[in-house]
Every structure is written in structure tokens, then in C-alpha cells.
Amino acid sequence: MKSNVHVIISGRVQGVWFRASTKQKAEQLGLKGWVRNVPDGKVEAIFEGDENQINEMIKWCHRGPPLSKVTNVEVKKQNLTNGFEGFSIRY
């Protein structure tokens, strides 16, 4: 089943290759959407695709890349948009 989630990741998640690693993992899982840094030091992402792959991506977000230290992951389900071509990093 297809799904869409909005995720906010807290902790040491900026300056540790979090966005690039998230893009790589999302593409590996066949997900669409985007990821970006937020001015308050968090990372925000939208993942859209198969529910099992999204759950795998959320699990990955709790760990993140090797240099990160994730302290919290907020996940909110959203309506499916089918509005994404692929997965991108937003600036």
C-alpha cells in the first residue's frame, strides 16, 4: 500500500551528511519526496511510496549516518500526493 509521511529528525543531524545519506537510502528503497535542513537545527523530510519501504526508512532515520546522533523522530501520516518525480535535497 502506498503512503506519505512527514518526518522531523532532531539531534546532531546537520553537518553530518544526513541529507545526502537520507537521499541515498530513500532512492535505494524506491521512495519519492525530499529532505532539507530546518533553521532550528533539525532535518525535515517527506517520504512517499510503499508503506513497508517507508517503515524501513523511518527505522533508518532513528539511526542516521555514522556521524549523526539522533535524539527524536516525529512522524505524521499525510494524504498521498503522487506529486514527486524522485527524491531531492531542498535548500
74 within a domain of the structure (yes/no): yes
88 within a domain of the structure (yes/no): no
Nine cell digits for residue 44: 525535515
Is 72 in the active site? Answer: no
User: What pLDDT, on the 0 to 100 scale, is given for residue 63?
Assistant: 97
3-class DSSP assignment, residue 59: helix
83 within a domain of the structure (yes/no): no
Structural domains of the chain, count: 1
Average pLDDT by stretches of 10, the chain with 91 residues: 96 98 98 98 98 98 97 96 94 92
Is 37 in the active site? Answer: yes
Nine cell digits for residue 33: 519526496
Task: Report d(CA 68, CA 86) in Å as an integer.
Answer: 25
87 within a domain of the structure (yes/no): no
C-alpha closest to that of 18 among 2, 41, 1: 41
Domain span at residue 61 reads: 2-78
Catalytic residue among 12, 37, 55, 72: 37
73 within a domain of the structure (yes/no): yes
User: What pLDDT, on the 0 to 100 scale, is given for residue 82?
Assistant: 87
User: What pLDDT, on the 0 to 100 scale, is given for residue 26?
Assistant: 98
Task: Report d(CA 40, CA 79) in Å as an integer.
Answer: 26
90 within a domain of the structure (yes/no): no
61 within a domain of the structure (yes/no): yes
Catalytic residue among 4, 19, 55, 63: 19
Task: Please state the pTM of the whole predicted model.
Answer: 0.96
44 within a domain of the structure (yes/no): yes
